[in-house]
Chain A
Amino acid sequence: MDTTGYLQRYSDWDRMNHWALVILFFCTALSGLAMFHPSLFFLATLFGGGPWTRILHPFGGVLVFVSFGGMYLRWARHNTWDADDRAWLDQAGAMLAGRAHQMPPVGRYNAGQKILFWWMTVSLLVLLVTGLLFWRPYFAGYLPIGLVRLATLAHSLTAVALVIGIVVHIYAAIWVKGTTRAMTRGLVSESWAKHHHSRWYAQMTQQKR
């Protein structure tokens, strides 16, 4: 296709990795939610009933962690915090009110995206460790009951936090028009880049010349 007026934001591998994670995350999150609240137990049907839901959920969780690991290794360096992020965050209210033009210049990711990245990183780490601690029949039986109880509580709490983070992530992609193309085709328009990531735009166009 003609890519004039577009910039490459994500490589093929970035995107395959991201969408594999999406599928794994949905399977794991829905099976987890089935066991979280009775009103959501019907979701267990999607996985072949209660026992299968219980069996599959932790394996899905491990795959989510591994899959996110690939993205972490490639993107962590773009998500380090710098002084400009502070300024962006101070203006976050204006962003939410739809006045994006008031925002300070942004590099590859804005402060909100960076916070979400670390939110997901920390959540998944906590979910992995706590999940292992009460994984039956493999581990829970060998650990003190107090630890199993604490792990169960922390796992549920973190899962809620992660789901909320993902809702924000999905909504942001829908809200900011032109964003989803970055993950479906790997491309964003130059106009999108100029509006939302002007420092990254400058960097990319300099490289091009």
Chain B
Amino acid sequence: MSSLQSLDIAARSATTNPSPSVRRDPEVAKLIDVTSCIGCKACQVACMQWNDLRDEIGDNDGTYDNPRDLTPASWTVMRFSEVELEPNRLEWLIRKDGCMHCEDPGCLKACPAPGAIVKYSNGIVDFISENCIGCGSCVTGCPFDIPRISKKDNKAYKCSLCADRVTVGLEPACVKACPTGAIRFGTKDDMKEFAAVRVVDLKERGYQQAGLYDPAGVGGTHVMYVLQHADQPQLYHGLPANPRISPLVALWKGVLKPLGVLAMIGAVAGSFFHYMKVGPLESGED
């Protein structure tokens, strides 16, 4: 959804030569401190407002999740999980779900349309909708089940980390709206430093397993969580413990894509040289 004139593109989908990348920006990150989230959904409202999106009104399924799932018009959703790790001690874990902006984005790797998905040098992964062909490969590639294909226009949509705001020095809309400071934004280094302080604090308060969620399997992410139970991320509405690009997708795009083209060219070249070496097979009058 963002501009194509950027000079700070680190990677571009379905592109085999370098993208415009003379400009380097520091890596940014959004830090979501699940332990100080009160589930007010101000971030959801701010996201709708800034991106000018209004989802269809859905129905209630007996949880606080509203809407029930991410959609092409809802790029972030609060996920409410009720867990009882110790008997009679209910914990209400509220995780703001949305694109994690992976350093090694599975969506970008899987996308066949040149420039439909870009990763800026600051780490933001964005969908450039005018190049999207609607094939759904980004859904196939994503380890976090984030992109949603619109039934209206067959384009893929997800959180842009407010790339348009960040470009002009503003923080993402959700960060701006958060009343408890549970969502922060800055350079990735600063966010890690801040998270480390939070983790020490949480450990002092008895959460021995508190930690930062910045999964190495996808090269780290530009949306990170502080979790009180970092040893069990799946408690937070199935946040994957070791997310990585599926080996099936890696085989498809990493091995088959180049070798397949080579094999097909090989078959044609082999046929040509066979003819030149052996010559045609004649049978008399023909």
Most A C-beta atoms less than 10 A away, residue of B248, B257, B274:
B248
Whether A36 touches B283, Cβ cut-off 8 Å, given contacts A41-B114, A50-B133, is: no
Asked if A108 is at the interface of the complex by the 8 Å CB criterion, the answer is: no
Shortest distance between the CB of A52 and any CB in chain B (Å): 9
Shortest A20–chain B CB gap in Å is: 24
A142 to chain B, nearest CB (A): 12
Q: Is B256 an interface residue (CB 8 A)?
A: yes
User: Cβ of B187 < 8 Å from any Cβ of A?
Assistant: no
| Interface membership of A140, Cβ < 8 A | yes
**Digit string of B161-182 for contact with A (CB within 8 Å is 1, else 0)?**
0000000000000000000000
Mark out the residues of chain A between 30 and 82 whose CB falls within 8 Å of any chain B CB in the assembled complex.
Answer: 34-41, 44, 49-51, 53-54
Nearest opposing residue in chain A for B16, CB measure: A38
B267 beta carbon closer than 8 Å to chain A: yes
Check if B260 sits within 8 Å of A153, measured CB to CB: no
Tell whether B56 is near chain A: CB-to-CB under 8 Å: no
A140 touches B136 (CB 8 A): yes
Contacts of A168 in B (CB 8 A): 267, 271
Q: Tell me the complex Cα distance, A195–B274, Å.
A: 20
Number of interface residues of A (CB under 8 A): 51
CB of A1 closer than 8 Å to a CB of B: no
Known contacts A145-B145, A153-B256: A37-B135 contact under CB 8 Å: no
- A7 CB, min distance to chain B CBs, angstroms: 13
Quick check: A191 and B131 within 8 Å, CB to CB? no
Specify which chain A residues have a CB less than 8 angstroms from the CB of B286 in the assembled complex: 177-178, 189, 191-192
Cβ < 8 Å to A, chain B residues 172-207: none
Whether B280 contacts A35 by the Cβ 8 Å rule is no
Whether a CB of chain A sits under 8 angstroms from the CB of B264 is: yes
Q: How far is the CB of A139 from chain B (nearest CB, A)?
A: 10
CB contact list, B78-102 vs A, under 8 A: none
CB <8 Å contact, A171 and B274: yes
Q: Are B257 and A36 in contact (CB under 8 A)?
A: yes
Q: Which of chain B's residues have a CB closer than 8 A to the CB of A141? A: 136, 149
* Given known contacts A51-B154, A145-B139, A153-B248, A36 and B112 CB-to-CB distance under 8 angstroms: yes
Cross-chain contact B134 with A51 (CB below 8 angstroms): yes
Contact A54 B284 (CB under 8 A): no
Instruction: Tell me whether A150 is interfacial, beta carbon within 8 Å.
Output: yes
**Is A194's beta carbon under 8 Å from chain B?**
yes
A164 at the interface (CB under 8 A from B): yes
A114 CA / B279 CA spacing, docked (Å): 23
Q: CA A176 – CA B279 in complex, angstroms?
A: 9
Given known A134-B140, A164-B267, A177-B281, contact A149–B260 (CB-CB < 8 A): no
Q: Are B280 and A50 touching (Cβ within 8 A)?
A: no
Within 8 A of A (CB), among B218-268: 246, 248-249, 251-252, 256-258, 260-261, 263-264, 267-268
Task: With A100-B281, A152-B137, A171-B274 as known contacts, state yes or no: A37 contacts B248, CB within 8 Å.
Answer: no
| Contacting residue for B248 out of A39, A96, A149, A164, CB 8 A | A149
Judge whether A174 is part of the interface by a CB distance below 8 angstroms: yes
Would A156 and B134 be within 8 Å (CB), given that A41-B14, A145-B139, A191-B285 are in contact?
Answer: no
Residues in B lying within 8 Å of A, measured CB to CB:
14-16, 112-114, 131-137, 139-140, 145, 149, 151, 154, 246, 248-249, 251-252, 256-258, 260-261, 263-264, 267-268, 271, 274-275, 278-286
5 A-B pairs with the lowest CB-CB distances in the bound complex, closest first? A178-B286, A50-B133, A195-B283, A171-B271, A191-B284
List 11 A–B pairs whose Cβ atoms lie within 8 Å, in order of A's numbering: A38-B14, A38-B16, A50-B131, A141-B149, A148-B139, A149-B140, A156-B260, A168-B267, A175-B280, A177-B281, A191-B286
